[in-house]
Amino acid sequence: MSDFAFDTVIHGGTIVTATDTYKADIGIRDGRIAAVAESLAGGTKRIDATGRLVMPGGIEGHAHIAQESSTKIMTADDYYTGSVSAAFGGNSSFIPFAAQHRGQSLDDVVAIYDERAAPNSVIDYSYHLIVSDPSPEVLEEQLPRAFARGITSFKVFMTYDLLNLGDGGMLDVLTVAKTHGALTMVHAENNDMVKWMNKRLAAKGLTAPKYHAISRPELAEEEAINRAVTLAKLVDAPLFVVHVSTEAGAAIIRRETQAGVKLFAETCPQYLALTREDLDRPGMEGAKFMCSPPVRDAQTQEALWRHIQAGTFMSVSSDHAPYRYDETGKLFNGADVPYPKIANGMPGIAMRLPWLFSEGVVKGRISANQFVALTSTNAAKVFGMARKGSIAPGFDADIAIWDPNETRVVSLDDQHDNMDYTPFEGLTVTGWPRTVLNRGELVVEERELVATRGRGRFVARDTVDLTGRPGYRAPELDPARNFGADIAP
């Protein structure tokens, strides 16, 4: 191979993957990594990465972009601002949700999100579906069609009246997912516990935003995670528990993963960075920190860090759910409404990686390799993006070049989203991505956006990789036990 065969050479940097840290150059041709070697000459473009860390671009596995909530409040970010913000935060691809509202066909949902994403995204994208209406047509025809198109994961809810599927609905969708090699993601909070808490709080007039954090008890998450995992075990289907916010929930994930259950889970920076005291602000300001499940306390933060260190979580995702602090978002239903009428969610897609690098790697809680696994490599594997998430010949040239020493105080200007606040405002963060490539093309160059709108491509994803996860056989559904009832999915 000629030295001059590369479109781009990144030279002089320190490569960090999920397993290794070493000095080498990277040669890129036709959007892929063509060579990794001690020294590479040539390249139509040469990028000097001296003193920098060269890591796989982040893969954001949990974001709400151009998505209406079940009560019809639209997120502030569309696929342009959402992808731009993601890229400034070191991500080279993302997988937002495409949400079904009851009565809608999944074919229509996918078509709507294609229209929203394709002309706008500056980075590669895919979707997780949100399934709220598992009718026979959805289960038997529409979901399999979506899987065949490479949308191989979907989220279901155990809470919210307009989304909650009930245990029977969960079993139905888990079974379809298992049959097609797809992955069910779950928002696990006990709906009736939350409604009961809401009723008690309302009766006493306790409706300020800070009571949101009280209304969704830790036990509601613990109970629902336990139930979701048990339902998945019954049908031996893979399950991904999103936004785990409690020590007890994480402990269930750890125990059942060790037992071989086909289980995956994530937590999010807000559960490590914020506490319920952040909701206790004058007037409605606490609404900015409302998300579900809610942020908890310092003891929980410590416990979640220990679970990150021990490998309980396969990823740390942003759960970017941007609702502005105005009448389009948080104050959609009025400037002085009870907390159940305020949209749940906060922005953070640009902060996920810098915050985790600073609090995790710089402060010595996790290695840089663990950081890469948690922010890119594991998501690529579990969500079926075979060509992404690492730096090696044959992989897409999805690369983030970081200055590990740059220290800045977080401000709204750094977010490049369509928001009017960031919950991370004022935090001091060390280590920032400066340049991001996606399939070899520069998206952000030295903190300047250089990508054109709509350059990102849809990624058709593979089925979930369950290597090393033997699963669980319920005796009553085990043909080998010969109970004479052959009904196992």
Contacting positions for ligand DUC (CB under 6 A):
64, 187, 242-243, 291-292, 319, 321, 344-345
Q: What is the Cα 324 distance to its own chain's centre?
A: 20
Instruction: Say if residues 128 and 154 touch (Cβ distance below 8 Å).
Output: yes
Nearest distance in Å: CB 184, ligand DUC: 14
Nearest distance in Å: CB 241, ligand DUC: 11
66 interface partner picked from Zn ion, ligand DUC, none, CB below 5 to 8 A per type: none
Nearest distance in Å: CB 267, Zn ion: 12
Nearest distance in Å: CB 167, Zn ion: 18
The residue (of 337 and 477) whose beta carbon lies closer to ligand DUC is 337
**What is d(CA 32, CA 440) in angstroms, rounded to the nearest whole number?**
6
**What is d(CA 109, CA 2) in angstroms, rounded to the nearest whole number?**
47
Q: How many CB atoms lie within 10 A of CB 341?
A: 12
**What is d(CA 137, CA 273) in angstroms, rounded to the nearest whole number?**
42
The residue (of 40 and 163) whose beta carbon lies closer to ligand DUC is 163
User: What b/e readout covers 149-170, taking b as 16+ CB neighbours within 10 angstroms?
Assistant: bbbbbbbbbbbbeebbbeeebb
The residue (of 347 and 404) whose beta carbon lies closer to ligand DUC is 347
Q: Which residue is nearest to Zn ion (CB)?
A: 187
Tell me the CA distances in angstroms from 298 to 142, 285, 422, one per residue in order. Answer: 44, 21, 20
The residue (of 236 and 319) whose beta carbon lies closer to Zn ion is 319
124 interface partner picked from Zn ion, ligand DUC, none, CB below 5 to 8 A per type: none
Which residue, 401, 410, 465, 460, is CA-closest to 433? 401
344 interface partner picked from Zn ion, ligand DUC, none, CB below 5 to 8 A per type: ligand DUC
Nearest distance in Å: CB 278, ligand DUC: 16
Nearest distance in Å: CB 242, Zn ion: 6
The residue (of 292 and 376) whose beta carbon lies closer to ligand DUC is 292
The residue (of 55 and 109) whose beta carbon lies closer to Zn ion is 109
Amino acid at 55: M
381 interface partner picked from ligand DUC, Zn ion, none, CB below 5 to 8 A per type: none
Q: What is the Cα 1 distance to its own chain's centre?
A: 39
What's the residue count for the chain?
Answer: 489
Q: What is the Cα 105 distance to its own chain's centre?
A: 24
Q: Which residues pair with 155 in a beta bridge?
A: 130, 185
| Torsion 386-390-396-398 (CA) sign | positive
Nearest distance in Å: CB 205, Zn ion: 28
DSSP state, residue 366 = S
Listed in sequence order, the residues at least 6 apart from 68 whose beta carbon sits closer than 8 Å to its beta carbon are: 74, 75, 99, 101
User: Which residues contribute to the site for Zn ion (CB under 5 A)?
Assistant: 187, 319
The residue (of 330 and 439) whose beta carbon lies closer to Zn ion is 330
